[in-house]
Amino acid sequence: QKEVEQNSGPLSVPEGAIASLNCTYSDRVSQSFFWYRQYSGKSPELIMSIYSNGDKEDGRFTAQLNKASQYVSLLIRDSQPSDSATYLCAVIPYGNNRLAFGKGNQVVVIP
C-alpha cells in the first residue's frame, strides 16, 4: 500500500464550478497534511496545510481532513482557468519529517 494515494484521473471542470480532489494515506498516525499546486514545468507550490480534523478555508480553497477514514480532500470553489495545474497531496507521518507525496491530480478548468 502506498503512503499517499491520489487515484482520480484528470479532472475537467467548467469555469466557476467546484473542483474536488481526494487523497488517502496509509499511516494512521500521520499528523501533517499538505496540498501543493504544480504548474507545468514549474516547481510544487504550497497552497494549504491542515493538521486537525475538519475543514480549513483559505480564499477559494478548502482542505478537509478526516483522520478516522484516513483521507484529506481539497475543494476549489469558483474555479478559474489559472487553477489549471496538477495538485499534489503530501503527508508527514508522526514522529519524523519524511514528506511523502501522492502522484497528483491534473485539473483543467474550461473557460
Partner 1 sequence: DARVTQTPRHKVTEMGQEVTMRCQPILGHNTVFWYRQTMMQGLELLAYFRNRAPLDDSGMPKDRFSAEMPDATLATLKIQPSEPRDSAVYFCASGQGRGTEAFFGQGTRLTVV
Q: Where along the sequence are the contacts to partner 1 (CB under 8 A)? A: 31-32, 34, 36, 42-46, 49, 51, 88, 92, 96-104
**63 exposed, middle or buried (CB, 10 Å; 0-12, 13-18, 19+)?**
buried
For partner 1, the closer CB: 44 or 76: 44
Considering beta carbons, is residue 28 or 42 the nearer one to partner 1? 42
Least separation in angstroms between CB 61 and partner 1:
15
State in angstroms the smallest separation of the CB of 15 from partner 1. Answer: 27
Instruction: Name the residue nearer to partner 1 (CB basis): 17 or 26.
Output: 26
Closest approach, Cβ 76 to partner 1, in A, equals 19
CA angle centred on 58, ends 78 and 69, rounded to 5° = 95
Nearer to partner 1, 17 or 49 (CB): 49
Write out the three cell numbers for 84.
Answer: 489549471
CB of 94 to partner 1, least distance (A): 8
Q: Any residues with CB less than 8 A from the CB of 64 and at least 6 apart, and which?
A: 50, 54, 55, 56, 72, 73, 74, 75
Give the Cα separation of 49 and 109 in Å (integer): 23
